[in-house]
Amino acid sequence: MNEPQQKWTETIEANHSLFDLKLKEVWRYKDLVYMFVKRDFISSFKQTILGPIWFFINPVLTTIVYLVVFGAIAKLPTDGAPPILFYLSGVTLWNYFSASLLTTSSTFVGNSTIFGKVYFPRLVTPISVVISNLMRFGVQFLLFLLAWAYYLSQGKVQPNIWILATPFLIILMAFFALGVGMIFSALTTKYKDLSMLLGFGVSLYMYATPVIYPVSSLPAGFKKLAYYNPLTGIFECFKYAWLGVGDFSPLMLGISTVIILILLVLGILIFNKVEKTFMDTV
């Protein structure tokens, strides 16, 4: 009698194509993504006195500082939007992007011990980082909604149909942080001081992004350059949608979308290439 042919669940190969992203395999490990997300979210406020309230404290204190420094002292314009709501919207979006980018950029270095002991698709880790930060964003976004509802009842904001684009804007931010974060994660396996440079660069990048000022306040030359900042279209669309202010145009968002998708693909390809040999350099 012929024995039934065995079906292998795992195949070990010497090499695979750079464009073989194994996304189906990542989907098979979706339970591991959930576990990582749960671990990251719980560890954020474990053994703290205030717990999840810290997610509210950060944007509140940051908004107060911006009100004093950029509103009262520097007197930067807000295009007629309530200053508290203007700064709070920028802080909420920026906190999500910066946290996702910085955490993703340390994927290889921060998880080298796990990667060296057990196999799973390495893309699981940066994806779980972006999702866990999305949960923190949801808590802070709730704070923004409460403030927005108050000013809406006072008739001081004029939202419009672009509110429906909010999920798309958040996804774009996640893709941008994921793409750039994976590029830096790959680079820091050989050049570890890049992680310090990235932290400094992100702080500077905030001032090149309309977080504390509207694009309409920029000189004509800088305004054209601002269009090519992938976050400009996202921040301006968000403020235009929820507050009814800003120098937003669909072209601006279109440019942001194209640049972000290119960076995402580039980041995945570089990440896919480095994951094969990173244990030799970490």
Confidence (pLDDT) at 89: 95
Residue 108 lies in a domain: yes
Rounded to an integer, what distance in angstroms lies between the CA atom of residue 209 and that of residue 13? 44
Question: Of the given ranges (43-57, 68-82, 219-233), which has the lowest mean pLDDT?
Answer: 43-57
pLDDT, average across residues 59-78: 91
pLDDT, average across residues 72-89: 92
pLDDT of 193 strictly over 90:
no
Contact 244, 236 (CB under 8 A): no
> pTM for this structure?
0.85
Confidence (pLDDT) at 42: 72
Residue 176 lies in a domain: yes
Residue 67 lies in a domain: yes
Rounded to an integer, what distance in angstroms lies between the CA atom of residue 250 and that of residue 214? 16
Residue 15 lies in a domain: no
Per the prediction, the chain carries an average pLDDT of 84
Rounded to an integer, what distance in angstroms lies between the CA atom of residue 144 and that of residue 142? 5
Rounded to an integer, what distance in angstroms lies between the CA atom of residue 61 and that of residue 2? 73
Residue 187 lies in a domain: yes
Confidence (pLDDT) at 65: 94
Residue 241 lies in a domain: yes
Rounded to an integer, what distance in angstroms lies between the CA atom of residue 126 and that of residue 132? 10
Is the four-CA dihedral 85, 140, 248, 166 of positive or negative sign? negative
Q: How many domains does the chain have?
A: 1
Is the four-CA dihedral 88, 217, 98, 128 of positive or negative sign? positive
Domain that residue 268 falls in: 50-280
pLDDT digits (tens, 9 = 90+) for 95-110: 999 999 998 888 776 6
pLDDT, average across residues 48-64: 78
Residue 140 lies in a domain: yes
pLDDT, average across residues 6-16: 54
Rounded to an integer, what distance in angstroms lies between the CA atom of residue 237 and that of residue 31? 34
Residue 156 lies in a domain: yes
